[in-house]
Chain A
């Protein structure tokens, strides 16, 4: 009857090659699919088309299809992404698109993983403590003061940052003691909340949430679809006022688990081959982060492995005060001079392969 907007289907772009991990906790493998892809579609559209045609029981989570709910997290060509925000036009026409479930969490079925770890950690993070003497309706806060916390409240709980963090990716044993970047920014948010009545957010994060495990590799910031500056604006300020350096389990961890030189392999861009992905995401290796894996094959793959940092983010501007200066906390700090913005445990010079390089023309359209 023509009252609905006329349907103008995108130009059919022909069939594309997909490899999707199918299976459950007992195992599984990548299966090949040929799917029709139309102009303007995203990966989630393709998965929906598969469900409606070849694979009606293909399991995948989604809700909003607009990058707002954080349900549709998966690894696309090894890179943790929201599938509803990954446009097909970002791939080559001939490129095989490989879709696997989040690796850090146990698989339930196909692309669906058990993310209950995150909900447990959420429950362990102390809640907002309302000020005792302010009645509802009398809360007064300035916009500049709420903005810092608001940045962290943009979080859609997609758990991509949790998934990518090397402390728990492939390190099941660290999970009990480590809350992960999502909850570090929750703690930071409350720490910066103008009216939160608790004063020990930083100390708590250090003592109970495993903040010290974090060695500021910034992988979490790189994958965050909300572009939250998890490390620069959240984690680093939280680490700033740590009372006692020996408290930091990282020092212990560094000597215990990692051989120290290998630790921050994370912000490295290791070549541009988007190598084939094989094996189960549970046992196989897409990418080994921390050199902590003992699986020789996984190690090898990690070396030439999938490069999921293809887009290096721009360096973030330092958080300067009104005078354009970095805030100095020397007076209250336990060491001489201000803390290193790179974290306390980084020594200089950095090995060259650990440096990020953002091409100045990165944002200009590539032709």
Chain B
């Protein structure tokens, strides 16, 4: 196999992923003076981040001056049902405003308040208007701004060194299939150019994973083909660990009709701006689904809920703005009880709530999307929506401050959706975009200083490269196996039907058995055609990543015997404080997924005292509450 041509590159920091997290990490590594490569499966500027609509959460207090990082921290912990890594939630809440303001110095143009500051909008789970936004295309603004910042750094390098790519280079349409190690240290990354099918090897002492999520394992998903869990799988195979893989967010309002656009999201701001959910009987049903923990903040009658839009200080919020998992579950049970729409969703109605002109002004791209894709005029008729697989809370277990992966590997960092812990069991809308910036910057910076500290560069072993080449070419050389498309459909069916939004023990056991079968079949997958831009081959290589990540999700979902956030067990419907103290950690042992329980780090005293005792009582064990009381006593 050594005769296969392999292009080689040397960098100090290799960033895998060109979404918000990857680009922010690369900027930081380059600013630290490192030679940096950015690698992306799609074209530059097309990563999944462009799809984010609602906004980026940061407690700048521009709209309501009472907002500050403590409130944001509290909302994040509440949203994640206290399973979040508290340190990550703290750093995120503290640093998000600076990261947003920084974007303005890169050229971003957010919508403004009357006094010229960045405007902030309401979003599910956030106590105050907090999401910096640009109409409903905030993700596009974020990625374009970072992309343009990278261009501006390249222009600097051109002036200084005569070459745009002297210190930072983008490898677009390039897929990494393997991380290469020297002992326990990262030595490089191996992959192929999608265009030509040629192989490429990046030798680098530090790698930042920013590969996004795993949604393509589900039938109904808002995620693109890129979301095959590559980063999760790369990390596992390199000896890192994953946490919280049982927690997947199903966005409550994806389009369910017409079929071609099934899964595409209807942004939460439709509800923030007055949209309401109705079942097929025309009833505004969310009032029936306000859980006890939220009674204080959410209205129990339509009149009060409607007043809130005008006067949020003196009224409780409409229940349509409950956290996503609550809304998704409510819709799910309405549909199951036969009060759904013909396509299996519920109605989201904004038409009868706002004048048409106002809808078009506030939600321009939603309006166009529905008009052009579905021929539905949202200013005239309600939309048909239902839960869609949207976001994975779980991911690479990292050190909260540096983004360095735990486990046995060194030199590996992770940021963005591929990392775990920050969002606990459920992510609040808008917290992801700010997460990308905060932890992207941290991971990039720490990867740079890690590369600095190394006495000698780790070396890539020839045998490892040969093995990577062989694995990559295998599907093309077999012609007896199944089509990758069939296998993907089967995988999606298993995950969608058996490890979906509501889970049961029997089904999870069944899912694991089927995944084991699929593993055999995926090992024998064959792809027709050659190496040049061959999507069948690309999918064949992605399948093994999707599979191992799905196994993690199914195993962890079986183990966690409670319902919390993005994990709902019908056979264990309540939240159990004992389970709150536990993270489920996945590691690879050979090629078998091993699951271990690990205690959650305890919140620092000054952070836990930001909460009411009454609120904590819903989440904590008696033992923990006693500690809290002792603490309060001390302070007095």
Q: Say yes or no for B294: interface residue by CB 8 A criterion.
A: no
Interface residue from B97, B98, B119, B497 paired with A1 (Cβ < 8 Å) = B497
Query: Which of B148-156, B591-599, B608-616 contacts its partner?
Result: B148-156
Count CB-based A-B contacts (< 8 Å): 222
A51, B386: Cα distance in complex, Å: 28
Q: If the complex has contacts A38-B259, A153-B109, are A123 and B154 also in contact, measured as CB distance less than 8 A?
A: yes
Interface residue from A5, A38, A140 paired with B115 (Cβ < 8 Å) = A140
Q: Say yes or no for A335: interface residue by CB 8 A criterion.
A: no
Residue of B42, B48, B387 with most chain A CB atoms under a 10 A cut-off: B42
The residue on A at minimum CB distance from B134 is A150
Q: Are the C-beta atoms of B104 and A139 separated by less than 8 Å?
A: yes
Interface of A is mostly: loop
The residue on B at minimum CB distance from A148 is B109
List A27-50 residues whose CB lies under 8 Å from chain B.
Answer: 38-42, 45
Q: Say yes or no for A172: interface residue by CB 8 A criterion.
A: no
Interface residue from A8, A59, A115 paired with B43 (Cβ < 8 Å) = A115
Q: Which residues of B contact A157 (CB under 8 A)?
A: 45-46
Query: Which of A92-100, A106-114, A214-222, A310-318 contacts its partner?
Result: A106-114
Q: Say yes or no for B605: interface residue by CB 8 A criterion.
A: no
Q: Per-position contact with A for B359-375: 1 when CB-CB < 8 Å, else 0? A: 00000010011001111
Residue of A24, A56, A62 with most chain B CB atoms under a 10 A cut-off: A56
The residue on B at minimum CB distance from A82 is B372
List A109-168 residues whose CB lies under 8 Å from chain B.
Answer: 109-110, 112, 114-115, 119, 122-123, 125-128, 130, 136-137, 139-143, 146, 149-150, 153-157
Q: Are the C-beta atoms of B224 and A65 separated by less than 8 Å?
A: yes
Q: Say yes or no for A71: interface residue by CB 8 A criterion.
A: yes
Q: Say yes or no for B257: interface residue by CB 8 A criterion.
A: yes
Q: Are the C-beta atoms of B134 and A68 separated by less than 8 Å?
A: no
Interface size on A, residues (CB 8 A): 71
- Shortest Cβ distance from A3 into chain B, in angstroms? 5
Q: Say yes or no for B184: interface residue by CB 8 A criterion.
A: no
Q: Say yes or no for A326: interface residue by CB 8 A criterion.
A: no
Q: Say yes or no for B50: interface residue by CB 8 A criterion.
A: yes
- Shortest Cβ distance from B361 into chain A, in angstroms? 11
- Shortest Cβ distance from B38 into chain A, in angstroms? 13
Q: Which residues of A contact B195 (CB under 8 A)?
A: 108-109, 112, 114
Q: Are the C-beta atoms of B533 and A112 separated by less than 8 Å?
A: yes
Query: Which of B425-433, B436-444, B499-507 contacts its partner?
Result: B499-507
Q: Which residues of A contact B48 (CB under 8 A)?
A: 63-64
Q: Which residues of A contact B43 (CB under 8 A)?
A: 61, 71, 115
Q: Say yes or no for B102: interface residue by CB 8 A criterion.
A: yes
Q: Are the C-beta atoms of A156 and B140 separated by less than 8 Å?
A: yes
Q: If the complex has contacts A58-B535, A127-B152, are A3 and B336 also in contact, measured as CB distance less than 8 A?
A: yes
A150, B110: Cα distance in complex, Å: 8
Q: Are the C-beta atoms of A140 and B109 separated by less than 8 Å?
A: no
Q: Say yes or no for B332: interface residue by CB 8 A criterion.
A: yes
Q: Which residues of B contact A66 (CB under 8 A)?
A: 51, 261, 264, 369, 373
Q: Say yes or no for B537: interface residue by CB 8 A criterion.
A: yes
The residue on A at minimum CB distance from B537 is A57
List, sorted by A's number, 8 A–B pairs whose CB atoms are closer than 8 Å: A1-B500, A6-B340, A40-B259, A56-B536, A61-B42, A115-B43, A137-B97, A150-B109
List chain B positions with a Cβ less than 8 A from chain A.
Answer: 42-48, 50-51, 97-98, 101-102, 104-107, 109-112, 115-117, 119, 134-135, 137, 140-141, 144, 148-149, 151-152, 154-155, 164, 172, 195, 219-220, 224-226, 256-262, 264, 332, 335-336, 340, 342-345, 365, 368-369, 372-375, 386-387, 483-485, 489, 496-498, 500-502, 504, 507, 527-530, 532-537
Closest A-B pairs by Cβ, 6 of them = A40-B258, A57-B529, A128-B107, A127-B152, A6-B344, A140-B116
13 new A-B contacts at CB < 8 Å, known A59-B532, A59-B534, A85-B372: A42-B261, A56-B535, A59-B535, A63-B46, A65-B261, A85-B373, A87-B375, A115-B43, A127-B148, A136-B98, A136-B104, A146-B111, A150-B111
